[in-house]
Structure 1
Amino acid sequence: MTTTGIRAIITGATGMVGEGVMHECLQHPDVEAVLLINRKPSGFSHPKLKEIVHADFYHFAAIENQLVGYNACFFCLGVSSVGMPEQEYYRVTYTLTLHVATTLSRLNPDMTFCYVSGAGTDSTEKGLSRWARVKGKTENDLTKLPFKQVFNFRPGFIKPTKNLKNTNKYYRYIEWLFPIGRALYPSGFCTMEELGKAMINSARNGYEKQILEGKDIIELAKRMPVSGDREYFT
């Protein structure tokens, strides 16, 4: 049996979550290569790292040949619905995500696709919250694509990793809430390190659920290789 490590595509690395996941991947011994797809240069450099700067995420034809040979995608690109017209939020959250995912599933059918959604996402697609309905539809339709595995991550409050450059500047004012929230409602509070490690572990060994709430993220982040086995992909 031929074995290989994780070769991951990451979107959203110019944001806090994407950079945090990338940071964990670059440190992890089982991640052998990382490809960033960004609209603008990220400024990151590492021996494991490659980057494609591509402005139009709705049209990937020009870069498709560079996306072959990867077995994981950590999709961390996202926007807030606050102040955004409904059609534009749907286009950026649903249409863009499904276009990227559909392209990758065609090019890499053995890929594990990990989507960063959010706590409170509405799987029924019928609730009152607009953003939750759109996220729910996105999750639901991702699971229909012909990937090896699809996992939808629903973190709540994420404690950022120190000294990364894309952390929201306002987090410094609310970071004190984390230990209190973790103690009172642990499933709603995870660290950026836990989220990144959980995504890596889901690509490496899978998980029992396709939807991972905060408690699942925390639990999965702690998991070690099955029986010390490094044969994660064939």
Structure 2
Amino acid sequence: MGDGLTVLVFGASGMVGQGVLRECLRDDRVAAVRVVVRTALDVAHPKLTQVVVGDLATPGEHLAGVDATFDSVGVSSTGMREAEYRRLTHDLTVGVARAVADASPGSAFVYVSGAGTDRHGRLMWARVKGETEDAVAALPLRAWSFRPGLIQPLHGIRTKTRLYGALYAVLRPLFPVLTRVVPGQVTSTEAVGRAFLAAVTGGGAPGVVTTEGINDLAGESAGPRRS
């Protein structure tokens, strides 16, 4: 790690990715953040380098020398055929993970799948994400698969998916109640970002992390080194 983590972020324009990026930029343990995006973000920070590419599957030479890769690229499966969903979910993620393993073997890799992920499940998205988790775990990386349930967007973060946006508008006033009633099923964009950092800086063995585990890791991550 040297004087601090060098972190690579895929999916920084999405709701989860925005939260992860925010926490990386705020955390003193992170020295440099590279985001791989198709369109430049409206974010400027001394730690931040934006790598604009035409295709996320071909990030070029920017994978070498990273300590951790945070991958929150994802699409809704609604109305999508399995072949296309698999290409955008499994193939893209596994391709990126393989490239990272080649360029920075032994580094940390955190992938966001979702609650209900199951490679033997009946739902198409759950099977595809389960297969993605397994493929990433088989690579020479320290790999975590995060399975968050309901995620509360904080700090002005918004989802780009219209359906989810409508859902969050309805749920917004209910989040405080849900957090108390079903704490193991609700987390936030801030907690996910903190948990990513806690995992790769010593927060337990690689593997699957549930919503409850995410919240536990997020609590461990909050400390005096945060700025």
TM-score, normalisation: structure 2: 0.91
Q: 1:166 to 1:32 in 2, by over 3 A?
A: farther
State the 1:185 CA deviation: 1.4
Aligned residues: 221
Counterpart for residue 53 of structure 1: 52
What aligned pairs does 1:75-224 form with structure 2 within 5 A after superposition? 75-122=71-118, 125-147=119-141, 149-164=142-157, 169-170=165-166, 171-208=168-205, 210-223=207-220
Structure-2 separation of matches of 1:167 and 1:84? 17
Q: 1:31 to 1:167 in 2, by over 3 A?
A: farther
State the 1:19 CA deviation: 0.8
Gaps of 5+ in 2: none
Q: Secondary structure of 1:10's match?
A: strand
State the 1:177 CA deviation: 2.4
Query: Which consecutive segments of 4 or more residues in structure 1 shift more than 3 A?
Result: 164-169
Gaps of 5+ in 1: 229-234
Q: Which amino acid aligns with 2:81?
A: P
Contact 1:5 1:30 survives alignment (8 Å): yes
Structure-2 separation of matches of 1:127 and 1:17? 24
Q: Secondary structure of 2:33's match?
A: strand
Q: Secondary structure of 1:223's match?
A: helix
Structure-1 separation of matches of 2:58 and 2:22? 27
Structure-1 separation of matches of 2:96 and 2:110? 12
State the 1:96 CA deviation: 0.6
Q: 1:209 to 1:9 in 2, by over 3 A?
A: closer
Counterpart for residue 35 of structure 2: 36
RMSD of the alignment, in Å? 2.1
Structure-2 separation of matches of 1:68 and 1:59? 14
Structure-1 separation of matches of 2:160 and 2:57? 26
Contact 1:72 1:203 survives alignment (8 Å): yes
Q: Secondary structure of 2:34's match?
A: strand
State the 1:86 CA deviation: 1.1
Structure-1 separation of matches of 2:25 and 2:51? 17
Contact 1:38 1:54 survives alignment (8 Å): yes
Contact 1:160 1:167 survives alignment (8 Å): no
Q: Secondary structure of 2:45's match?
A: coil
Q: Secondary structure of 1:74's match?
A: strand
State the 1:207 CA deviation: 1.6
What aligned pairs does 1:12-27 form with structure 2 within 5 A after superposition? 12-27=11-26
